[in-house]
């Protein structure tokens, strides 16, 4: 059996080690993070400004009033 220990890359051979990552990979990571933050901000804004009515009733049958007397 042949050992695969010598075939494995060392840390110095990996592109992302010691600030040697390609500039385009760094830019892609930044774009993905910014995209996720923008999507999260839009969803948070939509959720905070959405109003919904839980009123159940019609003009003929007014339904339940939730105002305390």
Summarize pLDDT for 51-67 with one digit per residue, the tens: 766 667 777 777 766 66
Structural domain of 44 = 11-49
- The domain total for the chain is 1
CB 63 within 8 A of CB 55: yes
Of 67, 37, 46, 68, the C-alpha closest to 55 is 67
- Kindly state whether residue 29 falls inside one of the protein's structural domains: yes
Q: Which residues contact 61 (CB under 8 A, 6 or more apart)?
A: none
d(Cα 23, Cα 14) in Å, to the nearest integer?
A: 15
Whether 31 has a pLDDT exceeding 70, the answer reads yes
The H or E element spanning position 13 is none
Q: Does residue 62 or residue 36 have the better pLDDT?
A: 36
- Kindly state whether residue 31 falls inside one of the protein's structural domains: yes
- Kindly state whether residue 6 falls inside one of the protein's structural domains: no
Q: What is the mean pLDDT of residues 21-30?
A: 88
The number of residues in the chain equals: 69
- Kindly state whether residue 65 falls inside one of the protein's structural domains: no
């Amino acid at each position: 059996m042949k050992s695969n220990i010598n075939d494995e890359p060392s840390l110095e051979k990996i592109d992302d080690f010691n600030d040697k990552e390609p500039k385009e990979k760094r830019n892609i990571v930044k774009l993905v993070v910014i995209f996720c933050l923008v999507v999260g901000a839009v969803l948070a804004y939509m959720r905070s400004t959405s109003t919904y009515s839980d009123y159940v009733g019609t003009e003929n049958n007014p339904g339940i009033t939730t105002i305390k007397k």
